Structure 1
Amino acid sequence: MSADEPPMTAPAIAILAADARNAPDAAALDGSFTIAERLLLSATPDAITWQAMPVPPYRKDYHELDRADSDRGGASAPLPAEYLGSADSAAFLAYAAGKPCGLLLLSTGWNGLAVIDDILVDAGARRLGVGSALLAHAEAWARGRGLPGIMLETQDSNVPACRLYARHGYQLRGFDRSLYATHPGTAHETALFWYLLFNDRTLRN
């Protein structure tokens, strides 16, 4: 979930459905990144605006957090079995030059929207267009099922991902300062909820 602006010589990216054969590739992905900014949020009845502010740099690794959750009996990682062979969810792996470079987990939410449950770009493949390719694949998946849009959640500490979503037309429509309050290591973070509704001009404008 990091900045993903492709250079001039970006390699071709292939996105394949995950199955029992390639699922282990997800564990090889390095989801770590350095946080040097956080979002400063402002809310009115009509909109949420944001700007990035610098913070002392520190490292975050989603896989390490997932492993800690699993040790406490919480979420497992990195590719839960329920995403394989399901009619209402799906898992995809991105490859560049034959090497795994990204992960996308999708499901159908209670409100009928597609949900990006996880989107991850390997640390060694950032700024190659992998994140953009995964978002395009998520949109194609949602549209192919006749779903009205996509939602996802990230955190105010993941500024590169937020910029990527905004570039792709997602709108920040909600936040929760307490979602991670009991979660060790991320209690200081604010959950951000991004939406891309295909036919709602109030969100696309």
Structure 2
Amino acid sequence: MIVKMTKDNMDDYNKPNEEFPVTGRIHPRYENGVWTYTEETLVEPYMKRYKDEEIDAAYIEENGKAVFLYYDGADCSGRIRLRANWNGYAMVEEIGVAGSRRQQGIGSRLMDQAVEWAQQHKLAGLMLETQDVNAVACRFYARYGFIIGGADNMLYSNFPTASEQAIFWYYKF
């Protein structure tokens, strides 16, 4: 069941935030006006986890922002955070599914909810950014129908993860 985040379930936001496997790296390439990519498999895969985030009431109160949570009964096992972006797209700021629930269609259902929300807000499509080392997520976005719109090798240059490259994905309606 997917529900919109409210003040009553706001504490569930970080529950699906679990580590994920880093098994490869995406290598985007821009040629003749088209983005493609290849995938490198890492010799030594590793696990990565993003820090829990403070979520504020703006995602409940503001019309151009939303969070949707996926529940299995009382357990929150997925989330997607959206906002209307300046360029007319809905920015998927965060999407995550609990490790034990991955590969069960929850991410696609959350993305379907994001599409519905963006269409209700008369936006042109969805956009998001992820790191090139999150190959599992990149494969998911490509399967869902996103295309690469750009890459940025400086976005993370001031962090210990300086070897990571940002990849921007778009899903146009």
Q: TM-score, normalised by structure 2?
A: 0.94
Aligned to 1:193: 168
Q: How does 1:1-205 map to 2 (within 5 A)?
A: 14-55=1-42, 56-63=44-51, 77-184=53-160, 186-198=161-173
How much does 1:30 deviate?
3.3
Distance 1:125 1:79 in 2: 23
Distance 1:179 1:165 in 2: 20
| Structure with the bigger percentage of helix | 1
Distance 1:158 1:80 in 2: 26
Aligned-pair identity in percent equals 36
How much does 1:141 deviate?
0.4
1:42-100 deviation per Cα after TM superposition (whole angstroms, max 9, x unaligned): 2213111112111121111012xx5xxxxxxxxxx153332121111011111123311
- Residue 50 of structure 1 aligns with an amino acid whose one-letter code is Y
SS at the partner of 1:62? coil
| Structure with the bigger percentage of strand | 2
- Residue 60 of structure 1 aligns with an amino acid whose one-letter code is K
Distance 1:53 1:110 in 2: 34
